[in-house]
Amino acid sequence: MSPLLIVAAAVVALLLYVIVSYNKLVRLRNECAEGFSSIDVQLKRRADLVPNLVESVKAYASHENTVFTRVTEARAATLAAASIPQKEAAHVLMQSALTGLLGIAEAYPELRAVETFTALQAELSDTEDKIAAARRYYNATTRRYNTALDQIPTNVIAGATGFERREFFSIEDPADREPVAVKL
């Protein structure tokens, strides 16, 4: 083989490697965007369920205005959140507000017996499970993407083509890491 042919083959192999690596990074970046979008969809779904749940509770506990105000503020924060830190903060705010709202249901046994309320509560529980699943998917794809960005020689291709690390969706409030107190 001539030296020119060997050099040409090496250049073609290197070019193919760069193309494959670039396409892998694009695919991983798109998976991260898809995962973030899934979180967004589920947070929107929860925000849409909340007004119905509030209306069900209001009929029984109209004097609990503070709780209703907190839920309304949390819903607005959820819908306005655009970045991961904003979505995390809105998620924590919504969790707290919903805890207060569902606490009212505990105080009104007749409310828990209403079919509409129980259906909305079940739907909310299902949505919370879907949010958790979407967060796990997003964090897994973000981990794969960030790992690809850090690996040699893909990190050279990523740096040259403008790929940037993504943030994980995580718990910001240390109190959320504490075990739940169960009182019987």
Q: How far apart are CA 109 and CA 104, in angstroms?
A: 9
User: How far are the Cα atoms of 10, 11, 51, 78, 120 from residue 97, in angstroms, in the given order?
Assistant: 61, 60, 12, 12, 16
Lowest mean pLDDT among 30-39, 42-51, 134-143, 164-173: 164-173
In a domain, 180, yes or no: no
- Kindly report the pTM of this predicted structure: 0.75
In a domain, 106, yes or no: yes
CATH number for the domain harbouring residue 140 = 1.20.1440.20
In a domain, 46, yes or no: yes
In a domain, 100, yes or no: yes
Number of C-beta neighbours around residue 137 at 10 A: 17
Structural domains of the chain, count: 1
Dig out the tokens for 164 from the structure.
Answer: 């940037």
| Max intra-chain CA distance, the chain | 89
In a domain, 179, yes or no: no
Three-state SS across 42-107? HHHHHHHHHHHHHHHHHCCCCCCHHHHHHHHHHHHHHHHCCCHHHHHHHHHHHHHHHHHHHHHHHH
pLDDT in tens, 135-155: 999 999 999 999 999 999 999
Average pLDDT of span 146-168: 94
The SS3 of residue 166 is coil
In a domain, 176, yes or no: no
Lowest mean pLDDT among 19-33, 129-143, 168-182: 168-182
Q: How far apart are CA 96 and CA 71, in angstroms?
A: 9
In a domain, 177, yes or no: no
Number of C-beta neighbours around residue 87 at 10 A: 20
Residue 32 is which amino acid? C
Q: How far apart are CA 178 and CA 173, in angstroms?
A: 10
In a domain, 174, yes or no: no
Contact indicator for 43, 90 with CB cutoff of 8 Å: yes
Domain interval for residue 41:
3-164
pLDDT in tens, 77-103: 998 998 888 888 888 888 888 888 888
Q: How far apart are CA 169 and CA 85, in angstroms?
A: 8
